[in-house]
Amino acid sequence: MKNKLKTSLFCLLSFVLLFSLAACKDSGDDKEKALKPVRVAEVTRSIFYAPQYVALEKGFFTKEGLKVDLQTTWGGDKTMTALLSGGADVALVGSETSIYVHAQESRDPVINFAQLTQTDGTFLISRKEIKDFNWDMLKDSTFLGQRKGGMPQMVGEFVLKKHGIDPQKDLDLIQNIDFANIASAFSSGTGEFVQLFEPQASMFEKEGKGYIVASFGQESGHIPYTTFMAKQSYIKDNQDTIEKFTRAIYKAQQWVQETDSAEVAKIISPYFEDTDTSIITLAVERYKAQESFALDPILDKEEWANLQDIMKEAGEIESLIDHQTLVDTSFAEEVSK
């Protein structure tokens, strides 16, 4: 009799346990299903975008009821193609791409709604160590630049001209190498100077392959270098989603600003598995020191004007576009209150 009772109790407890586990699983699945999916295409994987990875790792998007699927599309043209073709809902890319789309008289323009970075993120690297650098040292040198028409190259040329250097006449400018291969080309011996993002800049210094002698971000001032944007139709149909997305980014921007660089590096390290945490920390510290990470997602009129001045100087645009035409600050202003 006792054995039968034990067996019955065991069966009952097993049933209750299985039911509870199933209920928990269903509850978790339900929560997952309740999240609004948002597909984000980032132009490259970069420590420059630290607040975005913080928003993912700290669960800021999830707390807003969003499930963000991040894909790296490697290049402004590919990123914009993904957005325009419906392969992505939101793009993280340079604001200049929205101007290029506008120039093609798109019926569904791309609108900038949240700014992530507010300076150029590249550094000038010299093959040889220079203790007292001045920009005249670039004259008659071989300079390994970035892709024509992209923000890194336009800012690079803008800064060179600011220091009295004509990129086309005063140096041997190389800009026909694909973005992903620029660092390896310099490492293989091409060029005396190169324009690079972090963490490659710090890695080269650590390995003795190059030395940081100047910052293009400090030289060019505040511009909407990288922003989140979406097609006007998507924003119109998903205003609540855009506001929640922007709020999560703003929380991450605040967190990065208030948190020690080493802790930021630790949080974003899963996105840079092949990079030593000490290098990530150094890169984050450099970007924070020169205020590359935007403190809020508002893309203001002055930054928009600076961007177009740089583009006009590079010969990429002829006429200026009003701030309100391609920028919607309503979501950023709302979450920043």
8 Å CB contact between 183 and 127: no
What pLDDT shows up at residue 5?
A: 40
**How many Å apart are CA 136 and CA 158, to the nearest integer?**
15
What is the CB-side half-sphere exposure of residue 133 using CA atoms within 13 A? 16
One pLDDT digit (tens) per residue for the chain, 337 residues:
444 444 444 444 444 444 454 555 555 566 667 999 999 999 999 999 999 999 999 999 999 999 999 999 998 999 999 999 999 999 999 999 999 999 999 999 999 999 999 999 999 999 999 999 999 999 999 999 988 888 999 999 999 999 999 999 999 999 989 888 999 999 999 999 999 999 999 999 999 999 999 999 999 999 999 999 999 999 999 999 999 999 999 999 999 999 999 999 999 999 999 999 999 999 999 999 999 999 999 999 999 999 999 999 999 999 999 999 999 999 999 999 9
Q: How far apart are CA 256 and CA 250, in angstroms?
A: 10
- Residue ranges and CATH numbers for the domains of the chain are 35-119+223-335 (3.40.190.10), 122-220 (3.40.190.10)
Rounded to whole angstroms, how far apart are CA atoms 161 and 159? 5
Please tell me whether residue 125 adopts helix, strand or coil conformation: strand
Query: How do the residues of the chain divide into helix, strand and coil, expressed in percent and rounded to 5?
Result: 50, 15, 30
Contacts of 136 (CB under 8 A, 6+ apart): 163, 164, 165
pLDDT given for residue 33 in this prediction? 73
Q: What is the pLDDT of residue 149?
A: 86
Q: Distance between CA 123 and CA 282 in Å, rounded?
A: 14
CB atoms within 10 A of CB 286: 21
- The reported pLDDT for the residue numbered 17 is 45
Q: Residue 297 corresponds to which tokens in the numbers above?
A: 């997602």
In this prediction the pTM is 0.88
Q: Point out which residues pair with 72 in neighbouring strands.
A: 42
Could you give the CA distance from residue 21 to residue 298 in angstroms, rounded to a whole number?
Answer: 45
Going from the C-alpha of 188 to that of each of 160, 170, 184, 199, 250, the distances in angstroms are 25, 24, 6, 18, 40
Q: Where are the alpha helices (DSSP H) in 85-199?
A: 96-103, 151-162, 182-187
Contact criterion met (CB below 8 Å) for 88 and 36: no
- DSSP conformational letter for 209: S
Task: Check residue 148 and give its pLDDT.
Answer: 85
pLDDT value at position 31? 60
Please report which helix (H) or strand (E) contains residue 196, including its range. strand 193-197
Question: What are the residue ranges of helices labelled H in the chain?
Answer: 2-34, 50-57, 60-63, 76-84, 96-103, 151-162, 182-187, 200-207, 216-220, 232-237, 239-258, 261-268, 277-289, 301-313, 323-326, 330-335
